[in-house]
Amino acid sequence: MERVDPLTIPAKGLRDWSEPIAFAAMIVALVIAPFFAYPLFLIQALCFALFACAFNLLIGYVGLLSFGHALFFGWASYLAAHAAKVWGFPPELAILTGTATAAALGLVAGALAIRRQGIYFAMITLALAQMMYFFALQAKFTGGEDGIQAVPRGKLFGLINLADQMTMYAFVVVVFLAGFLLIHRIIHSPFGEVLKAIRENESRAISLGYKTDRYKLVAFVLSATLAGVAGATKAIAFQIASLTDVHWTMSGEVVLMTLVGGLGTVFGPVVGAFVIVAMQNYLSTLEQWVTVIQGVIFVLCVLLFRRGIIGEIAHALRVRL
């Protein structure tokens, strides 16, 4: 993979502060955003932002392109919706149920997919996701074409009523930030350094004694789990789980979000998710053209704009974002 590392010649002072400054800016933006935009739009964008960050953990830091991340996002949303609606779980337990499902699926899919490298990895994840799409289509509890509708939002810890839009928004912000900081922690840990070593040169990492398959599998499960958190939260917030979220187009969308924002940047996936979700909302009158526009963005990004929005900014300012 062509490295788009913005850190060629770092300006020392700015480099140390760029990430905290960007993080503070993001917090401020999240606090004032509800005054300018619909809470539901923000909730949707934040769920996808977490999804894209989870996906980016694999492509950006281990160099693995998963083309089947809808599998974890969608199945987590099904199980969360089912737990909340049929089993009557409170929202936090419903989300945990969905997340655990995604983690388990991630373990199985990851163990299979890491047996092949590069381009095959992408095809295997895509194929496995398609298989589970057919299961979702045929299984009874998923409701087939209808999906699981009218999922109750419930009371968080039995205390906080999530029916209120602003409360829900606050809850999603907390979930998103927890996931975001966890990913940040992972990529800056010794474990994360090994992941980057695998991305740069897997054979050398092996020769240094690292069991790279194990590292890749753990990274895959972490990514799947966090994608599951995003999917489960989205199911509770939007009170629906449907086939859209397990279809391969969803896997493609999360790739697009990350690519637009910047592969391998910390803030890129967040920005990319907001851009794509905003585009889908504002261009929804164009219906079928949305797919075509997404395709055009893919082509333009790959040909002219491989660093993505945040990657370009970071490159121009010579900082790491």
Partner 1 sequence: MFEIFGVPSQALFGQLLLGLINGSFYALLSLGLAVIFGMLNIINFAHGAQYMLGAFTAFFLLQYVGLGYWSSLIVAPIIVGFTGILIERFFLQWLYKLDHLYGLLLTFGLALIIEGVFRKYFGSSGLPYQMPEQLLGGQNLGFMFLPNYRAWVVAFSLAVCLTTWFVIERTKLGSYLRAATENPTLVRAFGINVPRMITLTYGFGVGLAALAGVMAAPIYNVSPQMGADLIIVVFAVVVIGGMGSIMGAIVTGFGLGVIEGLTKVFFPEASNTVIFVIMAIVLLIRPAGLFGRRA
Which residue ranges make up the site for partner 1 (CB under 8 A)? 1-2, 59, 65, 67, 112, 115-120, 122-124, 126-128, 130-131, 134-135, 138, 248, 252, 255, 259, 288-289, 291-292, 294-299, 301-303, 306
Least distance from partner 1 to the Cβ atom of residue 286, Å: 10
Q: Strand 160-161 to strand 155-156: parallel, antiparallel, or no bridges (unpaired)?
A: antiparallel
> What is the DSSP secondary structure assignment for residue 62, as one 8-state letter?
T
Nearer to partner 1, 8 or 203 (CB): 203
Q: How open is the CA angle 236-75-40, to the nearest 5 degrees?
A: 30
CB 163, min distance to partner 1, A = 37
Reading the block at residue 39, the tokens are: 């809470």
Closer of 230 and 263 to partner 1 (Cβ):
263
Q: What are the structure tokens assigned to 242, written together?
A: 């449907």
Q: Minimum distance between the CB of residue 179 and partner 1, rounded to whole angstroms? A: 24
- Residue closer to partner 1 (CB basis): 94 or 250: 250
Smallest gap from residue 265 Cβ to partner 1 (A): 16
Instruction: Give the length of the chain.
Output: 321
Residue 43 vs 301, nearer CB to partner 1: 301
272-240-132-249 Cα dihedral, nearest 10 degrees = -30
Instruction: Give the CA-trace dihedral at 311, 312, 318, 321, to 10 degrees.
Output: -30
> From CA 216, how far away is CA 220, in angstroms rounded?
6
Return the number of the residue (191 or 298) whose C-beta is nearest partner 1: 298
Closest CB 253 distance from partner 1, rounded Å: 10
